[in-house]
Amino acid sequence: MAELARAGGRIGLARLAEALADRDTRIVRAALDAIPLQRSGILLLDRVAHSARATDRTLRERGLRALSTLLGNTNGEQLAAWEVPAESLRVACQALAAAAGNEAEESSLRLLALQGLADAGLLCAVSFRPSQLLKSSDPQVRRAAVLALPASAQTKAALASALKDRDGRVAAAAGARFCDLAGGAVAASTEPSLGKVALAEGAVIEDVVDLLPCLARSKVAEDGRALEALRARGPTVVRDAIKNLTGVETDKN
């Protein structure tokens, strides 16, 4: 990686820009790998975005990865300092959003684009609305969209709907976000209960762990039973988290 960065530095930004238009896809791939390693690489956002829409799958992946890295490693002040045109940022964000929303695209590339949008944060807020992906046919995309939802009043309504998702991975992620937004204590019961989604088939361990604070503080009987089931039969990571959590709760009381 360091060698690639040095090579990119020696070649210069203008040559890297030319390389993106080369007919040899090997040269284009090398340029896409090198550009994010250059501090000035952010100036090529719109050109990298073109590769993110390429028909060649490998170029598309490299382009999406490069955009994700470039946007994730910058902020509004740095864009202003480099005098990056607003149009270049818009094109880059829309390229990621288009990939994330493309039902015909490979799941791995859609998730890569989604992660890039999430890392870009406010830079791509205008181009990216995670709620639009909650009806995707791909449950992995729906889960990623749930995790990318911003904290707002509208998000709670979206999460209440996602709790009922037919895929346990999505439902558990919605429960985890619901718990997080509630500060670890949901004031009222949900439908389905948080306990039910915590035990859902396919639920991702990280999401189950994030649900535990709400289960521990809940007065809903089903939530209590779920916590005990996880304490007895859950994965080691979950059992350890429960032990730490209930120890803290006991100390507070």
pLDDT digit string, tens, across residues 13-40: 889 999 999 999 999 999 999 999 998 9
Reply yes or no on whether the pLDDT at 165 is more than 50.
yes
Reply yes or no on whether the pLDDT at 64 is more than 90.
yes
Distance spanning both ends of the chain, measured CA to CA: 52
Q: Is the peptide bond before 130 cis (omega within 30 degrees of 0)?
A: no
The pLDDT of residue 134 is 95
CATH number of 1-126: 1.25.10.10
Q: How many Å apart are CA 250 and CA 195, to the nearest integer?
A: 21
Structure tokens at 78: 């740095």
Percent of the chain with pLDDT over 90: 81
What secondary structure letter does DSSP report for 192? S
3: confidence class by pLDDT, cuts 50, 70, 90: low
Question: Angle 25-34/13-20 helices, nearest 10 degrees?
Answer: 140
Give the list of residues 6+ apart from residue 204 with CB closer than 8 angstroms, or none: 143, 169, 172, 173
The pLDDT of residue 90 is 97
The pTM of this model reads: 0.85
Residue 93 CB neighbour total at 10 angstroms:
23
Domain boundaries, the chain: 1-126, 150-253
Q: How many Å apart are CA 251 and CA 244, to the nearest integer?
A: 11
* Contact predicate 227/194, CB 8 Å: no
Mean per-residue pLDDT over the chain, rounded: 90
